[in-house]
Amino acid sequence: MRPVEPPPSRWSLSPAAAADPDGVVGVGADLEPGTVVAAYRQGLFPMPVRRGRLLAWWSPDPRGILPLDGLRVSRSLRRSCRRYELRVDTAFDAVLAACADRRRPGAWISPEVRAAYRRLHELGWVHSVEAWTGEGELAGGLYGVAVGGLFAGESMFSHRTDASKVALVGLVERLRAGGATLLDVQWTTPHLRSLGAVDVARARYLELLAEAVARPPLEVWGG
């Protein structure tokens, strides 16, 4: 499904370079599809603060990315890849629910954010990559926003060993096959760095972003 362009946002979002030292560009606005898509196109992403009561727009410096030719796949992860079946967009609601589970450490996905990304999924902008067991159990997965040659990873989860990592391997394979140029992971963590994620300066990220979002939509979803 090619993404459906939403109506323009009624908000004028501040540029990424206006972020404060914590990476916050501004607060408020809304989560309408036009606002969220416009934000990603200019290097911002939404994330609530104060336990979900205040919506902030972020542009970290440095920014975490995972170079598509730099994914580290260990021998054990390769074995795990053979244990799961990869699917795309077949259980988006279940992936979103698992990522939004409030029992998870650091849980941040509010009901408003969850509803917003569900709308974006219906419009073809947000996708899930899922790892399934041979018995038909959803073992792990991830979701994120695709704009041109950009995929902005939002969240991932695992119910079985390595399942989210397997979903990431599958995502990278699809992105490379489809001609994507940028996989954004927002902030690096020890876990993501072990898989090849690196930090880049905001200015460099914005250069990579401009090239990525100018590309046509990826045709790698839906199967």
For 37-61, b/e burial (b = at least 16 CB within 10 A) is bbbbbbbbbbbbeeebeebbbbbbb
* Domain made up of 63-213: CATH architecture: 3-Layer(aba) Sandwich (3.40)
For residue 137, pLDDT beyond 60:
yes
Give the angle subtended at the CA of 156 by the CAs of 40 and 189, to the nearest 5°: 80
pLDDT of the residue at 52: 57
Whole-number average pLDDT of the chain? 95
3-state secondary structure of 35: helix
Pairing of strands 24-27, 54-58: antiparallel
Pairing of strands 182-186, 150-158: parallel
Per residue in 168-195, pLDDT tens? 999 999 999 999 999 999 999 999 999 9
Per residue in 50-68, pLDDT tens? 665 789 999 999 999 999 9
For residue 45, pLDDT beyond 60:
yes
What average pLDDT does range 121-150 have in this prediction? 97
Per residue in 54-110, pLDDT tens? 899 999 999 999 999 999 999 999 999 999 999 999 999 999 999 999 887 767 898
Longest dimension (CA), the chain: 49
pLDDT of the residue at 50: 65
Lowest mean pLDDT among 31-35, 63-67, 105-109, 205-209: 105-109
Two tokens, residue 196: 């090849």
Helix or strand holding residue 129 (H, E): strand 126-132
Two tokens, residue 81: 């890849």
Tell me the DSSP string of 53-93. TEEEEE--SSEEE--TT-----HHHHHHHTTSEEEESSSHH
pLDDT of the residue at 104: 76
Domain locations in the chain? 16-58, 63-213
What average pLDDT does range 158-162 have in this prediction? 96
